[in-house]
Structure 1
């Protein structure tokens, strides 16, 4: 009886739910039983011209009459979900993940990132916040530009200098991010920046790249071709710069002939942000926004990011420059992506739509971040078995600008985790309380004179209360009545965009004023340091002394104030934040020059020095306002390690104690003196939230280093070609004619490996592939990973192609004394070359296949022998 009663209730509920569902489905596009194509056609047919145009902005508004929610297309997940107001897992920077040579690990990283992104988006839907940036499911990643020149500040976002490695890792990322559901995307990836784009940053809005057909198809396009034609990437971002006289987003060759016609790309294209404005403001190829926007749409650019240029499409249609049917093509592509993401279907139908917020920073995700950080680190030098260090040392001195730098390990385009482990923390955690770990910064990145920070708590007060009076305003101009005011003991804030603040204010387009009085403790000088993102200024006694109001980039400035003891100085700091993360920090102290000899003498009882230097995303990155020796506009003007760091390392070397140089960087650094004199050098990149743990694991032998360089480390600036020249002549390991300091694919281990028994056919037919196998044995005393690399070389001088080219790699883990047979399957496309007309042709004649732990002519002492075999292609 009870079962019958419950059954009747269930039937009633199902009928009622069905009636409600039918009523809700007013239009065919809302019927999830119909194919996406029919639903998209129906939806677009119901839009007005103005509604269509506004859907082509990255911040697409809601269409209430059709119950279409607002959606912002702009989101990032380069190495974990970026810029979101939620705490997330931050994996190593892209260039570091490339150093793992581990496509399976990168696939899993992308899968985990998509899960966290789904959880965030689901929460945004629940909160009605789908209109906010960095909460959507369309990620403008991966960056698969070729890192052709180490001076490019954004090279850290790429997978290195090699087209094969870039394409393979990019493919793994896209497949991991987009998922394997036959109907729905887990998230939508976007290959950028299409296609010939790699600096200089200060010129990117005006630069015109021009390369030969050979370089275009041999170097710049292979990764894009693979991701479009094989990985089925959902989106492509066209670059700022022009290509052969046309802006990339309106390039006949790139956008129409290659992307849409040859590759049959049916996904969406977004401009880089503000790139359409560049048509008429910087490239001067178009007279106004209407002409620029129409031409971009003609060439298949569906979204105008970061600006309002596409609103001029209304004028373009009115004036007959473009038709509404032309706009329909783009609109249909955009809504197709949103339908494929399940945005218009019941959550119960989309397996990703119920991903809970609890997946953020899950144990599996954090463990994988640590795994990738470990695999990414490259042991460049280890003389006299300096590493691994013994855990029983009595005193370790840790030095350098990156030793306790939580900013550096996160790279750029990053999210914010709940916990970041710096190298200093990692070492302390590793050695425990029985080892004394002493920290001194000693140098900045470029200078041996540092600000000795003082505790100003007792010297700052206002209205009889210690600290700052803080006033927060809606909007960026400090206008109107403050949304809220409060006293703050110190000024050190960081916000993610959209983070909730007091009084209902969110960290997006807000401003603040901080007021206090400083009472000088002595007569002399006090240096105030102010840093922030986006803009700030400092007033002392009503006079403006620091002004970065239009800076729009993270950075620090200092002002030296002459003080009289017991005198009071009024300080007012004004700050605004626009889009993206926000930070403002205020401190004070006195500058002091580090005496290196005194430092060494002070620590003459040290068992080892660990110097953590290199560079930082504070110096290299996207269009930055940085002007320091060796750095300009986000790029580098020199690849040499800054002289101040070399000078300190020389002093440490003279101590006679073991010296370990842990180098953080997103690009190749020239360290000729260090490579000859410092016994142990580890390249640790920007290793993500667990970077410090990973470095400590390697330094003390709990992890056997196995990373490989995805870029060439040159000896000096003299090895570099003109930065503005996009020809690949004498660039990267494939065409460089000199001898590098450390070559592409280089990386040492704590154990050793031997290769034997290379087996491959002696002859194959032209246009066919082949297989080969090799036996690898761990001949050392420690378990470890080896990255097995396969290169193809040829000796036919009549064919212009790479001197040597990576065509396969595998990561294998072996215990001491153990062996494994490794097989490679070369596809027909791996045995081709590009002719002068940009056409792919099969190789013929004799070629050489080389297998080992490095390039064929750069044998490593820990990877042993390189095996090569000649193959005849008939």
Structure 2
């Protein structure tokens, strides 16, 4: 008993504890490699590590994990199934806290991570919606790499775990959703590509990006794609996420809600998926074996574990009262469905009673634990990771990381209006600035939610004060702006300035987890503040909007006295620097909107509880996202301006795809438009095409920066399905690239699309490639490059 007690104390103080403790000052040569299977630790407590197969690296992870689980009593097994696993001291197994977050930097959300005097903060990058607006896949991957480096450094110091429940990859179906700021936007393909790149950045170990045995592939840290699936409602007019039943067609599930998760698992090789609170067609996702064991682990071949959103099992029993289950029933349902880990206490409290009542098998518990321990072996929790052992204090909040935070904001910021080329301002002319609005001196508001403690803040006031004499006025007491008390000070500032910059928008009191919006307007008196300041100003007025979700700012777009508008999302710790760099022309904006900016009356046309993506004329629903919305917008998806003009021309393209089908391959119907041409073979299954052809649609675009400034152009490639079929998207993103060109430079950009890029999802949820004339569109508006690709199937 004395040995066990001593061992328990040792492992409690081990690197996985989340209690603050003093740590010696570190140097750049700091080296630590905390891990379970330390021979010295075992020997110090009278244990012979050679007798424990789970610590023998000559065996596979599967064999080792099974050995560990087999050594446990069933009572011990159950206590490892929660996010705060208790460990088994008699086996040398310490406790582990699974829940850490790294949405846009290492966060202190969840018990697995904390900050103290040793590491008081970590780099806080822009919230995801702004980074997504860069449309830069290499940036997304780099962000993941830097975040995981800081995470490993904190792990070495006992201040973080190795399992991070990020990113959030739910598609933004409705503009009122409060968590829009956490996501990469409304397009499933873009969201999926963000997921793949960020996950790869977090997880991949150099030289081990791919493996013949993915279940043994080492990971830098473990990432988790969440929340699966069809989750995009918090609390709207009394309907909350815990009881909401999302009525979703199979077509929308395949086409929109599941697609980013499929890409995350298949292409990103993510090591965890989190199931969501809401019901889907009457079934909680965490209890749906078809969605978990069937799809995630079966069809997509997940190499990792499935975890519940926190307290989801309790929600099933308490709030949803699904099947009128008891607590023990609920535990049995989710365990048998394939849920490996409970973020909560229901597994640890009610699995033993459920087992004793004969509702679950011990083998179900074993299966879940083996999945968990294989994952912890892959991240080095058992054996250490010498590659990352040298990471420590000096690798967090580095100068390079903080500059990357500002650069990510610069790349994502979108220029929405720039009348008469008002921007960029020249600091030698505009020496006195009025800086007004509720976000003019923003700090914590810039980092949004699921954030930690930043290395340091650079507020807009800090940044602009370096370039000009700034007259600062709040304009509003806070973002809610419930009265006019401070409007007059802002007006007075504008009267006495060479230019006025108004920084307004939303914050977490308006949108965020648990908080949906009921309108798309600026809160309180903000609109009045902006109009009155613009009206009194005799010099240029620039409006900057902070928000995750869309805001109807048509009034500002149409106000001739407001010369320029910038959307800055939630720009992270270096947000002030990024905004100033763009306004003063040190950086040429190249971001593009990852969301459709609807008009305010959109909220009167469709309830948030309707999950339909396509328009419904019978109900008067206008459709959702750029793919299906049939109304007017304030700004369309993909919109964004630059300080320099670009010209794009088509150099070459493959414009036809002729495929000879095998005799046993079938054609599938698609609904034709009234009186439309009936193609003898309307469509073919994607899987059938892939089995007989690997033809690609190759094309080349010449981009010319015809202006006098270096700039960035985002080329978004859309596929427009043949117009003889009904119910298909008006267009859909199938590719994108961000290119940087010096003034006057020309650059050739090549794209390669596979047959899946020409696919659509039928109303019966088949993934099909239609025959007929597809259009490939590169870019939007008058400068778009458009060419046809004719698809013909024959026997």
Q: Which residue number corresponds to residue 657 of structure 1?
A: 539
Q: Which residue number corresponds to residue 306 of structure 1?
A: 344
Q: Which residue number corresponds to residue 261 of structure 1?
A: 298
**Any residues of structure 2 matched to 1:617-696 within 5 Å, and which?**
617-623=508-514, 634-655=515-536, 656-677=538-559, 678-696=562-580
| Of 442, 446, 455, the match for 2:475 | 442
**Any residues of structure 2 matched to 1:467-482 within 5 Å, and which?**
none
Q: Conserved in 2, the CA contact under 8 Å of 1:850 and 1:866? A: yes
Q: Conserved in 1, the CA contact under 8 Å of 2:106 and 2:151? A: yes
Q: Judge which range, 209-218 or 765-774, deviates more.
A: 765-774
Q: Which residue number corresponds to residue 105 of structure 1?
A: 139
> How big is each residue's C-alpha offset from its partner over 1:145-196, in whole Å with a ceiling of 9 and x where there is no partner?
0011111111111100001100111100111100135342100011100011
**Any residues of structure 2 matched to 1:498-513 within 5 Å, and which?**
none
Change (3 A) 1:385 1:18: closer
Give, in whole Å, the separation in 2 of the partners of 1:333 and 1:786. 44
Give, in whole Å, the separation in 1 of the partners of 2:634 and 2:495. 32
Q: Which residue number corresponds to residue 201 of structure 2?
A: 176
Give, in whole Å, the separation in 2 of the partners of 1:172 and 1:406. 28
Give, in whole Å, the separation in 1 of the partners of 2:492 and 2:275. 56
Give, in whole Å, the separation in 2 of the partners of 1:218 and 1:447. 37
Give, in whole Å, the separation in 2 of the partners of 1:219 and 1:426. 40
Change (3 A) 1:310 1:836: farther
Match of 1:791, SS? Answer: strand
Give, in whole Å, the separation in 2 of the partners of 1:668 and 1:158. 13
**Any residues of structure 2 matched to 1:28-39 within 5 Å, and which?**
28-39=53-64
| Of 469, 472, 485, the match for 1:593 | 485
**Any residues of structure 2 matched to 1:153-302 within 5 Å, and which?**
153-181=178-206, 182=208, 183-201=217-235, 203-285=240-322, 286-302=324-340
Q: Which residue number corresponds to residue 599 of structure 2?
A: 715
Q: Conserved in 1, the CA contact under 8 Å of 2:588 and 2:642? A: yes
Q: Judge which range, 759-768 or 35-44, deviates more.
A: 759-768
| Of 611, 629, 633, the match for 1:740 | 633
Deviation at 1:355, TM superposition (A): 2.0
Deviation at 1:353, TM superposition (A): 3.6
Pair 1:873 & 2:791 matched = yes
Deviation at 1:800, TM superposition (A): 2.8
| Of 698, 705, 710, the match for 1:778 | 705
Change (3 A) 1:830 1:141: same
Give, in whole Å, the separation in 1 of the partners of 2:480 and 2:84. 43
Match of 1:765, SS? Answer: strand
Give, in whole Å, the separation in 2 of the partners of 1:817 and 1:602. 40
Q: Conserved in 2, the CA contact under 8 Å of 1:446 and 1:644? A: no
Aligned residues: 683
Q: Which residue number corresponds to residue 862 of structure 1?
A: none
Change (3 A) 1:294 1:427: same
| Of 121, 134, 155, the match for 2:155 | 121
Q: Which residue number corresponds to residue 394 of structure 2?
A: 358
Match of 1:757, SS? Answer: strand
Deviation at 1:230, TM superposition (A): 2.1
> How big is each residue's C-alpha offset from its partner over 1:68-115, in whole Å with a ceiling of 9 and x where there is no partner?
111010010000110131410011101011001011011010011011
Q: Judge which range, 259-268 or 382-391, deviates more.
A: 259-268
Change (3 A) 1:447 1:791: closer
Deviation at 1:599, TM superposition (A): 4.6
Give, in whole Å, the separation in 2 of the partners of 1:45 and 1:307. 23
Deviation at 1:797, TM superposition (A): 3.5
Change (3 A) 1:36 1:446: closer
Structure showing greater radius of gyration is: 1
Q: Which residue number corresponds to residue 418 of structure 2?
A: 382
Deviation at 1:232, TM superposition (A): 1.1
> How big is each residue's C-alpha offset from its partner over 1:227-273, in whole Å with a ceiling of 9 and x where there is no partner?
11221110000000111111110114322332232223242011000
Q: TM-score, normalised by structure 1?
A: 0.76
> How big is each residue's C-alpha offset from its partner over 1:653-672, in whole Å with a ceiling of 9 and x where there is no partner?
22232111010001111111
Q: Which residue number corresponds to residue 730 of structure 2?
A: 803
Match of 2:274, SS? Answer: strand
Deviation at 1:827, TM superposition (A): 1.8
Q: Which residue number corresponds to residue 669 of structure 2?
A: none
Match of 1:25, SS? Answer: helix
Change (3 A) 1:321 1:611: same
Match of 2:435, SS? Answer: strand
| Of 507, 510, 516, the match for 1:616 | 507
Give, in whole Å, the separation in 1 of the partners of 2:218 and 2:464. 45
Give, in whole Å, the separation in 2 of the partners of 1:92 and 1:778. 28
Q: Conserved in 2, the CA contact under 8 Å of 1:420 and 1:689? A: yes
Match of 2:252, SS? Answer: helix
Q: Conserved in 2, the CA contact under 8 Å of 1:375 and 1:707? A: yes
Give, in whole Å, the separation in 2 of the partners of 1:679 and 1:304. 52
Give, in whole Å, the separation in 2 of the partners of 1:721 and 1:386. 38
Match of 1:351, SS? Answer: helix
Change (3 A) 1:399 1:300: same
Q: Conserved in 2, the CA contact under 8 Å of 1:758 and 1:867? A: no
Pair 1:58 & 2:58 matched = no
Q: Which residue number corresponds to residue 617 of structure 2?
A: none
Deviation at 1:354, TM superposition (A): 3.5
Give, in whole Å, the separation in 1 of the partners of 2:496 and 2:146. 46
Deviation at 1:866, TM superposition (A): 1.0
Q: Which residue number corresponds to residue 728 of structure 1?
A: 613
Q: Judge which range, 736-745 or 602-611, deviates more.
A: 602-611
Q: Conserved in 2, the CA contact under 8 Å of 1:445 and 1:642? A: no
Change (3 A) 1:389 1:294: same
Q: Which residue number corresponds to residue 467 of structure 1?
A: none
Q: Conserved in 1, the CA contact under 8 Å of 2:499 and 2:539? A: yes
Match of 2:532, SS? Answer: helix
**Any residues of structure 2 matched to 1:487-502 within 5 Å, and which?**
none
Q: Conserved in 1, the CA contact under 8 Å of 2:105 and 2:125? A: yes
Q: Conserved in 2, the CA contact under 8 Å of 1:758 and 1:772? A: yes
Match of 1:695, SS? Answer: helix
Match of 1:806, SS? Answer: strand
Q: Conserved in 2, the CA contact under 8 Å of 1:398 and 1:438? A: yes
- Long gaps (5+) in structure 1: 1-15, 130-134, 451-591, 624-633, 860-864
| Of 650, 657, 660, the match for 1:757 | 650
Deviation at 1:449, TM superposition (A): 5.6
Q: Conserved in 2, the CA contact under 8 Å of 1:408 and 1:618? A: no
Q: Which residue number corresponds to residue 586 of structure 1?
A: none
Deviation at 1:601, TM superposition (A): 4.5
Deviation at 1:617, TM superposition (A): 2.2
- Long gaps (5+) in structure 2: 1-38, 109-113, 209-216, 615-622, 660-688, 690-694
Deviation at 1:799, TM superposition (A): 4.7
Give, in whole Å, the separation in 2 of the partners of 1:52 and 1:449. 54
> How big is each residue's C-alpha offset from its partner over 1:464-506, in whole Å with a ceiling of 9 and x where there is no partner?
xxxxxxxxxxxxxxxxxxxxxxxxxxxxxxxxxxxxxxxxxxx
Q: Judge which range, 170-179 or 757-766, deviates more.
A: 757-766
Pair 1:73 & 2:98 matched = yes
Deviation at 1:310, TM superposition (A): 4.1
> How big is each residue's C-alpha offset from its partner over 1:503-551, in whole Å with a ceiling of 9 and x where there is no partner?
xxxxxxxxxxxxxxxxxxxxxxxxxxxxxxxxxxxxxxxxxxxxxxxxx
Q: Conserved in 2, the CA contact under 8 Å of 1:179 and 1:186? A: yes
